[in-house]
Amino acid sequence: MVRPTFFAVFAAACVSGWAAEPVDLSAVHRIRTEAFENSKVMETLFHLTDVHGPRLTNSPGHRKAGDWAVKRLGEYGLDNPRLAKWGPFGRGWSHTKFQAHLIEPGYQSIIGFPMAWSPGTGGVITAEAFHAPMKEEADLAKYKGKLRGKVVLIDSVRATPMRSAGLGRRYSEKELDDIVATLPEAKPPASDREKRNRWQGKRNSFLKEEGALMMVTTGYEGDGGTVFASSAGSYNEEFPDPPPSIAITPEHYNRVVRLIEKKIPAKLQVEVDAAFHAETKDSFNVLAEIPGRSKRDEVVMLGAHFDSWHGGTGATDNGAGSAVMIEAARILKTLGLPMDRTVRLALWSGEENGLLGSKAYVKETFADPKQMALTAQHGKLAAYFNVDNGGGKIRGVYLQQNDMARPIFDAWLEPFRDLGARHVTIRNTGGTDHLSFDAVGLPGFQFIQDPLEYSTRTHHSNMDTYDRIVPQDLQQAAAIVASFVYHAANRQEMLPRKPLPKPRPDEDKKKEPND
């Protein structure tokens, strides 16, 4: 059990001058006690993963998870829990069966899963495997007339070197100090997503025109039974659907390729039941509030993305973040801590497809980044806090180049120094929903989290499950988020803001398939 050491913290604060930014140590003590001694965060994660996972946007599992979250938030006493519609998004997709076997020249059960937005097989298919590495459009001509009736393996053999160290790790103090010391980096170049999507569409069309029965990939990383993969098709019906498509572990993939290279016929047997869900084009975000007192028209937001990929149950990406935010809201409501500003919880969908749910909410509520015409509510948002870097405990905060917030966050983290959270860095971090707020000049922040196994085992993989979560890390994160939200809600002024960005008329100019 973690015990707070507040007298030591307070003494250090007085010496350092940290007390210039007021911190309610009594409230922090109550928050920490509730977070560690009466935690509900793993119970929440169980329902989001084992019961209602995975949560691919607009899939039946996503909808059931949303309904459960609304019900549970209501039971916790939050106001107006609801599914807030946004859209259009496009087709949902789900699968209910997968089996794959090598049956010639010998039997082997194959580890893998179907790729999202690819059709089912319509029963068991048994066919010869054909190796046709396809990296660019020029490769397609080499296989014309050769793929009909085949299960086509589209990747080269991927090396699986021995791992000399474990898959999980925590940041060292030196690594964290290096993160803090790093100056703001230049904005990374935009990914060539349009080129990639065009290539994916051409490949899908080619495989179907050539009569391939199935496409098989080894994913983009992983070994030892871990498969990292996401989609082969798109929620957007304007893009070509692939043939039935699966991703399998590289050890099994490589065996099949070696057989083919040695001119030994390899035969696979595969069955996939999958369905597109086109009946509802719109999607939803989950929203709920704790009304404020004297400044209830001003808002502090906390959020995480609710959707997931489908290979696992979406635990570290991002059931963990969603559970932490639900737990932080529960803690604040349960303790009845007085808060001047309204607290709004948001659980986003469509994040895995390009931050779509948070972008839609920000556009409707605050500003469209294309024109930067601000709504009245734009001036009422005090801050937005996000969790979406796996299940690791919080070690600090990315300022997103808002150096004016540094002394504030330094003060708010001080009572959690004994739990390993003390680092504030000017750096940007990307890839998740705080960017939607930052894009229109709102103070949006993501926390620094220990990596654990996020990039090595769980991110978009079949191992993204409840079992990969460390409960104490989520409890620590919930306590810190609740404290940040509480102090932001009661701070005399809202958090400082960077200058407004210029309009970006080309924002979301092209409608694209999956991220």
> Does residue 13 surpass a pLDDT of 50?
no
For 127, the enclosing helix (H) or strand (E) is strand 125-131
* pLDDT tier at 508, thresholds 50, 70, 90: low
Q: Tell me the CATH number at 129.
A: 3.50.30.30
Same domain, residue pair 156 and 266: yes
Same domain, residue pair 124 and 255: yes
Domain that holds residue 340: 39-77+84-90+280-377+396-490
Residue with tokens 């590495």, as numbered in its chain:
133
> Does residue 5 surpass a pLDDT of 60?
no
* pLDDT tier at 17, thresholds 50, 70, 90: very low
Same domain, residue pair 161 and 53: no
Number of domains in the chain: 2
Same domain, residue pair 483 and 429: yes
Give per-residue pLDDT as tens, 322-356: 999 999 999 999 999 999 999 999 999 999 999 99
Residue with tokens 């050890």, as numbered in its chain:
251
Give per-residue pLDDT as tens, 76-109: 999 999 999 999 999 999 999 999 999 999 999 9
> Does residue 138 surpass a pLDDT of 80?
yes
β-partners of residue 341 are 295
Cβ–Cβ under 8 Å, residues 263 and 171: no
Q: What is the mean pLDDT of the chain?
A: 93
Across the range 395-400, mean pLDDT stands at 97
On whether residue 322 sits in a domain, the answer given is yes
Higher pLDDT, 206 or 509: 206
On whether residue 295 sits in a domain, the answer given is yes
Same domain, residue pair 251 and 359: no
On whether residue 207 sits in a domain, the answer given is yes
Same domain, residue pair 208 and 222: yes
pLDDT at site 12: 43
Q: Tell me the CATH number at 288.
A: 3.40.630.10
DSSP label at 138? G
On whether residue 514 sits in a domain, the answer given is no
pLDDT at site 280: 87
Of 4-13, 129-138, 191-200, 297-306, the least confident: 4-13
Same domain, residue pair 44 and 169: no
On whether residue 49 sits in a domain, the answer given is yes
pLDDT > 70 in the chain, percent: 93
pLDDT at site 2: 43
Same domain, residue pair 284 and 321: yes
Q: How many CB atoms lie within 10 A of CB 122?
A: 11
**What is the full DSSP assignment across 212-240?**
-SEEEE--SS--TT--B--BSS-SSTTSP
